[in-house]
Amino acid sequence: MSEKKLHIALLFGGNSSEHDVSKRSAHTVFDALDKDKYEVSVFMFTKQGFLLGNKDSMRIFDGEPEDAVVAEAIKDVDFSNPLANIQSLSEVKDIDLFIPVIHGNMGEDGTVQSLFRLLNKPYIGSGIASSAVSFDKDLTKQLLTYHGIRNTKYVVVTPENQSEYTYEKCAAELGETLFVKPARQGSSVGIYKVSNKEEFDKAIQDGFHYDFKVLVEETIANPREVECSVLGNRDIKASKLGAIRIPAEDAFYDYNNKFVDASGVVFEIPVELPEKLTKEIQQMSLDAFRVLGNRGLARMDFLVDENDVPYFGEVNTLPGFTNISLYPQLWAVSGISYKDLLDRLIQLAFDEFEDNAKLHYDFVELGSEKLGKGLLTDEDKK
Ligand SMILES: Nc1ncnc2c1ncn2[C@@H]1O[C@H](COP(=O)(O)OP(=O)(O)O)[C@@H](O)[C@H]1O
Ligand SMILES: [Mg+2]
């Protein structure tokens, strides 16, 4: 007698600049999932945030032109229905577990996690609050600073305090060369390295297109960019480290280097760094994961200055997952294959779901059999 296979829903796409990377990540995950163990459905969020059903998503997955499939799928949709965007969710009722492979907004900011929570289903990765905080560079830095994890000095400019935070004031506090970035973005979109008033004002203005909070940070000169993968829920492990080298003088890891022309970018996986520095970065990664309440997986990015002092840069709670992506590659060189990594993440998602199911959200005494089964009467709740 064959056991029933676990039904997994793989979500990809989304409305961030990483839509296409997400598609590639999802492909690699789909191919690597053991079809003897798992039945896999795929669901794509279009660039407009519309959730396609499994059949249409599969067509795109199989190489049909995305725009044509999307146009056909939405032509009869009644958008006066407020839930029209996510009507395909009705297809997911017998899903056992969700794997969101959506980078950036929607995927990493707590949005899809809220859907999974409403559906009461297990999913891979961090929860709602942890995702939302980790996606916000200001909130992340506040938590890290509170817990003594080194990161660059910065100020937050908002439309309200903008007149106070002039270039002169920021430069006096943080140095003449500054990094300006929206709090909630990714892929280096809206990020500028500035060193005069004109560039500064333009960068702040552009930043406000993406968020009403724009960070102005001190610059780490000629940094080495180092990454560490973390795996686990409460019992967590740090991988070996990787590094990204951008050979061009004065350049940084901007949108062009990431997605347009990455030919000059060199990945070192793993990277050999002095032992003390390696240990420090791994420890900072584990500390940050705990402080931010991350679950399952996260890739921690660092900037290391010319004196080998590491600064925490940012956290990615759903990092790239193609077979050349850093997160899985760092585990591969640390002894965990891509396939094993997926199996572990799936188990961690179930563990986390079970742990959370033990929590009591209702006003009934501990141990009530009715708890969590939707059987509470008004009398119970008094
Ligand atoms: N304070 C800084 N000093 C030096 N370089 C920086 C600084 N902040 C960002 N960068 C450069 O900009 C890139 C993108 O910044 P990051 O904060 O990682 O945003 P994103 O979420 O868009 O990747 C980094 O990989 C690095 O090359
Ligand atoms: Mg980054």
Residue 72 resides in a domain: yes
Locate 290 and state its tokens. Answer: 């705990």
- 151: Cα separation from own chain's centroid: 19
3 marked ligand binding residue: no
Residue 65 resides in a domain: yes
- Which ranges of the chain would DSSP assign to H, the alpha helix? 19-32, 54-61, 66-74, 111-119, 128-135, 137-146, 167-174, 197-207, 255, 275-291, 326-332, 338-357, 378-381
With contact defined as beta carbons under 8 Å apart, do 281 and 241 qualify? yes
pLDDT value of residue 2: 59
Angstrom distance (rounded) from CA 245 to CA 21: 20
pLDDT value of residue 368: 55
Looking at the fold, whether 190 and 298 belong to one and the same domain comes out as: no
Residue 143 resides in a domain: no
Residue among 39, 114, 187, 368 flagged as catalytic: 187
Choosing from 154, 188, 309 the residue with most ligand 1 atoms within 8 A of its CB, the one to mutate for a pocket test is: 188
Angstrom distance (rounded) from CA 206 to CA 60: 33
Reduced to 3 states, what is the DSSP secondary structure of residue 44?
strand
Using the structure block, give the residue that is written with the tokens 């995702």: 131
Digit-coded pLDDT (tens) for 128-144: 999 999 999 999 999 99
Closest ligand 1 atom to residue 301 Cα is 18
Looking at the fold, whether 244 and 261 belong to one and the same domain comes out as: yes
Looking at the fold, whether 232 and 203 belong to one and the same domain comes out as: no
The sign of the dihedral angle between the CA atoms of 273, 279, 281, 286 is: positive
Could you say which DSSP state residue 283 is in? Answer: H
314 marked ligand binding residue: yes
Q: In angstroms, what is the span from residue 376 Cα to ligand 2's centroid?
A: 46
CATH number at residue 317: 3.30.470.20
CATH number at residue 212: 3.30.1490.20
HEC assignment per residue over 234-272 = CCCEEEEEEEEECCCCCCCCCHHHHHHCCCCCEEECCCC
pTM above the 0.85 mark?
yes
Burial class (CB in 10 A: 0-12, 13-18, 19+), 100: buried
Q: In angstroms, what is the span from residue 171 Cα to ligand 2's centroid?
A: 23
Residue 136 resides in a domain: no
Digit-coded pLDDT (tens) for 97-119: 999 999 988 999 999 999 999 99
Residue 76 resides in a domain: yes
Asked if 18 is an active-site residue, the reply is yes
Looking at the fold, whether 199 and 116 belong to one and the same domain comes out as: no
Number of domains making up the chain: 3
Angstrom distance (rounded) from CA 126 to CA 255: 26
Q: In angstroms, what is the span from residue 65 Cα to ligand 1's centroid?
A: 33
Lining residues, ligand 1, CB within 6 Å: 152, 179, 181, 185-188, 191, 217, 219-220, 223, 225, 252-253, 301, 303, 313-314
CB atoms under 10 Å from CB of 153, counted, come to 13
Looking at the fold, whether 183 and 241 belong to one and the same domain comes out as: no
Boundary of a domain, candidates 201, 218, 235: 218
Sorted by sequence, the CB contacts under 8 Å of residue 284 that are 6+ apart come out as 149, 150, 300, 302, 310, 312
Looking at the fold, whether 229 and 339 belong to one and the same domain comes out as: yes
| β-sheet bridge partners, residue 154 | 217
Q: Which domain holds residue 32?
A: 6-123
Choosing from 177, 181, 250 the residue with most ligand 1 atoms within 8 A of its CB, the one to mutate for a pocket test is: 181
Could you say which DSSP state residue 84 is in? Answer: G
Asked if 173 is an active-site residue, the reply is no
Angstrom distance (rounded) from CA 21 to CA 193: 25
pLDDT value of residue 3: 75
Looking at the fold, whether 166 and 43 belong to one and the same domain comes out as: no
Q: In angstroms, what is the span from residue 218 Cα to ligand 1's centroid?
A: 11
Q: Which residues of the chain, if any, have pLDDT below 70?
A: 1-2, 361-382
Residue 168 resides in a domain: yes
CB atoms under 10 Å from CB of 145, counted, come to 14
Boundary of a domain, candidates 108, 123, 138: 123
Residue 159 resides in a domain: yes
Looking at the fold, whether 232 and 192 belong to one and the same domain comes out as: no
Looking at the fold, whether 279 and 344 belong to one and the same domain comes out as: yes
Asked if 306 is an active-site residue, the reply is no
Closest of 157, 152, 155, 156 to residue 173, by C-alpha: 155
Sorted by sequence, the CB contacts under 8 Å of residue 229 that are 6+ apart come out as 238, 239, 297, 298, 299, 300, 319, 326, 327, 328, 330, 331, 334
pLDDT value of residue 247: 74
Looking at the fold, whether 184 and 292 belong to one and the same domain comes out as: no
Looking at the fold, whether 159 and 42 belong to one and the same domain comes out as: no
316 marked ligand binding residue: yes
CATH number at residue 57: 3.40.50.20
Burial class (CB in 10 A: 0-12, 13-18, 19+), 277: middle
Looking at the fold, whether 202 and 266 belong to one and the same domain comes out as: no
Residue 368 resides in a domain: no
Boundary of a domain, candidates 218, 247, 266: 218
